[in-house]
Amino acid sequence: MQSSKFAPWDDPDAKPLIRFKNVTKRFGEFTAIDNLTLDIYEREFFALLGPSGCGKTTMMRMLAGFESPTEGVIELAGQDIAPVPPNKRAVNMMFQSYALFPHLSVWDNIAFGLRRDSMPKRDVEDRVEEMLRLVRLEKFAKRKPHQISGGQRQRVALARSLAKAPKLLLLDEPLGALDKKLRQDTQFELMDIQEKTGTTFVIVTHDQEEAMTVASRVAVMDQGQLMQVSTPDRIYETPNSVYVADFIGDVNIIQGRATQDGEETYRIDWAEGQKPLTAKSSNVFSAGQTCHLAIRPEKVAITAERPEDAANAVQGRVHDIAYLGNLSTYHVELSNGTIIKAQTSNTRRISRRTFTWEDTVWLSWTATAGVLLAN
């Protein structure tokens, strides 16, 4: 029976396509990947997300076969892939620079990998035509890479790496070279193609919005380690650390001391002369333990009067307003100097905005709005 929701990572019987087992990779003194264990399942769209130098590209190059792990084992469909050279792996890669062969036409670029497999000529032709249709480039088959636009080059690179129908497709910052508008369109196209072909995609990116949009699961990396591996919504709503909360989207972090105050409820003393805050959390804190309350700005309400029923409310002065078109972010300075961000939708015209600079306002949020984190 097929479950309605695609979530093999929650199924204990599911066999992963890729398995990193305690993989460490060192370059001389530098440890790029530090004892990392990870499963990726078939038909997943998996994103490796992190700042540059976090080791995400090294992970990808180990999968492609351009690097080999210093310690640990990488399995593809249950087989250790360490002894398999890159040209013998059922894994293809789409390079950040696209790496299109400049001396070959679009057609020949896509056919390149198929010809290496000594596929019959007719089959090569059929497959190339199919790929050209998939990326909607039939008209450009005869062109050379420098004769087409950046977005088209990106699609040729995708078609070329998909042509051999790999078990696994690696995408290294696939949209990095495109401008913002084109990037957004292409993200949906990528998801479409992934769904159509049923190929497992592993994408490397430093753009959190991109990772959240395209991926079924996201792995947030830092300094060669996995910080959190989960679905985009869980990463956003319930980050497991201040690092992840801070890396993904905008967030207010309030540091304080937790005291249990009822079932899964804590009182947080966070500043002299300020009323304690209340937050619900399934994480357990001992009395007086340092904690961090992470609240997304859009979960903070901004009002002129003190709201009656709010679990948490603080008063402050509007310090700055960032107008983003559809949204406005208010930077509100509290009496102790802390700045808290609150975001509201601009449903009204800007000239009729309720608050302006130096206004005294109330910020409020519920007990479940934030996440209470130990570190």
307 contributes a contact to another protein by CB under 8 A: no
Q: Which of 144, 206, 257, 299 binds another protein (CB under 8 A)?
A: 144
Which listed range, 37-45, 149-157, 188-196, 306-314, lies at the site for another protein (CB under 8 A)?
Answer: 149-157
Which listed range, 11-19, 100-108, 217-225, 367-375, lies at the site for another protein (CB under 8 A)?
Answer: 100-108
**H helices present in 166-263, as ranges:** 180-197, 208-214, 232-237, 242-247
Tell me how far CA of residue 261 lies from CA of 28, 149, 250, 278, 284, in angstroms.
Answer: 51, 61, 28, 8, 12
Q: How do beta strands 91-94 and 168-172 pair? A: parallel
152 contributes a contact to another protein by CB under 8 A: yes
Count of positions (residues) in the chain: 375
116 contributes a contact to another protein by CB under 8 A: yes
Tell me how far CA of residue 350 lies from CA of 49, 197, 304, 355, in angstroms.
Answer: 36, 46, 17, 10
Q: Which of 23, 93, 221, 277 binds another protein (CB under 8 A)?
A: 93
Task: Classify the C-alpha dihedral 74-77-233-191 as positive or negative.
Answer: positive
317 contributes a contact to another protein by CB under 8 A: no
92 contributes a contact to another protein by CB under 8 A: yes
Q: Which of 13, 117, 272, 358 binds another protein (CB under 8 A)?
A: 117
> No. of H helices and E strands in the chain?
8, 20
149 contributes a contact to another protein by CB under 8 A: yes
> Biggest alpha carbon distance in the chain?
79
| Number of other CB atoms surrounding residue 267 within 10 Å | 16
Give the nearest distance from C-beta 172 to another protein in angstroms.
Answer: 9
Q: Are 22 and 43 in contact (CB under 8 A)?
A: no
Rg of the chain (C-alpha set): 25
Q: Enumerate residues 156-195 that contact another protein by CB under 8 A.
A: 160-161, 164
Q: Which of 22, 37, 80, 101 binds another protein (CB under 8 A)?
A: 101
Structure tokens at 296: 């997304």
66 contributes a contact to another protein by CB under 8 A: yes
155 contributes a contact to another protein by CB under 8 A: no
Q: Which of 141, 148, 253, 334 binds another protein (CB under 8 A)?
A: 148
Question: CB-wise, 152 or 278, nearer to another protein?
Answer: 152
Q: Which of 24, 31, 96, 260 binds another protein (CB under 8 A)?
A: 96
User: Which element (helix H / strand E) includes 196?
Assistant: helix 180-197
Helix (H, G, I), strand (E, B) or coil at 172: strand
Where on the chain is the footprint of another protein (CB under 8 A)? 64-66, 85-88, 91-93, 95-97, 99, 101-103, 112-113, 116-117, 144, 146-152, 160-161, 164
